[in-house]
Amino acid sequence: MLRIHASRIAAAAVLAFVAAPAAAQDFFAGKTIDLMIGAPPGGGYDIYGRIVARHLGRQIPGNPNIVPKNMPGAGSARAAGFIAKIAPKDGTVIANIMPGAVIGPLLDPKTEKLFDPTEVQYLGNVNNGTRVCITNAQSKVKTFDDARKIVSAFGGVSTNDSTRDYGYMHKKTSGAVWNLVTGYNGTSDLALAVERNEIDGFCGFDWASLKSQRPNWIKDKLVNILLQDSIEPNDELTKLGVPHVFRYVTSDTNRKVVALILSQQVFHRSFIAPPGTAPAQLAILRRAFDATMKDPQFIAEADKLRIDVAPLSGERVQEVVRTLYASPPEVVDLARAAINP
């Protein structure tokens, strides 16, 4: 009897082990996944969020419907806070957020902490970004050397947004003498302000977004590209003769500060799930994200939209974020000062 009882327990355990993954695979069947885009409609983050929404569902067992919903505010921290504190922890609500939302709590302690960037679960990152500073072709500021001598008006959005943070960073570390006018509503709003000559230009514009949203600016030479902001130079921009930021950041201390601020571009367009998301659902979403990045239909549409795809896995993004938050306090303090008035 004891031998029979033991065999039944073993068989039940095997069945449970097999049934658990099967149940997880069926979890998303017939469901809808809300994708909260932490940016206004029409900008680069909106474009990336919606293209992922169009293709991700095919890679998830059960083929759930992915519904993109814009939730701008606080440089994507509002959407991230919703994910962290309100959204169900079963993978049915995810978000696409700006890197400023991830690094913001580290670099701006006065910012209301809407979520813990080290605790949310990263599904993956679509591309490693390069950002640029640009001016209207009619501006007197035609090069970054001009920006270090000629007083001009540059635009920005708000705290945790690269347009604001990089604008101040270059004033503090690279010698720019522009005056920063903040309060704009995203890069689309800033682009219109440049076209109307309300401002000379702005920094922190994703190179991929510039190519996608304003291809005529490049083709017809309607803007000057002053500088490229990235850890490593971008080959395409280098061939166009655009100088790299570290040409103008000369001191060792400032180089460490700028490197810390720019390191957020490693997780340039990250997708997240809530802390405590069920491991089975998290694993499915991460595998689906990785598969989407390799999907020929996704890649073909990305090429059509002129957006760059250079993905990073969710596990790798998680590791990078935790490493950033372990940065030396003295460098963090200097970086905080660099991105604020």
Residue whose structure tokens are 């540059």: 154
Give the pLDDT score at 109.
72
146-162: pLDDT as tens digits = 999 999 999 999 888 89
Give residue 24's pLDDT: 65
Same domain, 282 and 256: no
pLDDT for 100: 86
Q: Is the pLDDT of residue 17 over 80?
A: no
Are residue 308 and residue 320 in the same domain, yes or no? yes
- What gap in Å lies between CA 1 and CA 241, rounded to an integer? 82
**Where residue 238 sits, what CATH number does that domain have?**
3.40.190.10
Is it the case that residue 15 has pLDDT exceeding 50? no
Position 14 pLDDT exceeds 60:
no
pLDDT class of 21 with cuts at 50, 70, 90: low
Q: Cα separation of 154 and 89, whole Å?
A: 41
Residue 1 maps to a domain? no
Q: What confidence score (pLDDT) does residue 9 get?
A: 47
pLDDT of residue 131: 95
Read off the pLDDT of residues 23-46 as tens digits, 9 standing for 90 and up: 667 899 999 999 999 999 988 899
Number of domains in the chain: 2
Task: Say if residue 277's pLDDT is above 90.
Answer: yes
Q: Span 237-250, mean pLDDT?
A: 97
Per-residue model confidence as pLDDT tens digits over 67-102:
999 999 988 999 999 999 999 999 999 999 999 899
Among 264, 283, 299, the domain-final residue is 264
Confidence of residue 108 (pLDDT cuts 50, 70, 90): confident
The reported pLDDT for the residue numbered 247 is 97
Q: Which domain holds residue 252?
A: 131-264
Burial category of 159 from C-beta neighbours within 10 Å (exposed 0-12, middle 13-18, buried 19 and up): buried
The enclosing H or E element of 319 equals: helix 314-324
Give the model confidence (pLDDT) of 51-64 as tens digits: 999 999 999 999 99
Whether residues 237 and 276 share a domain: the answer is no
187 in any annotated domain: yes
- Cα 254–Cα 259–Cα 264 angle in degrees, nearest 5: 140
Decide if pLDDT at 175 tops 90: yes
Element at 227 (helix H, strand E): strand 223-229
pLDDT for 1 equals 43
Mean pLDDT of 286-299: 98
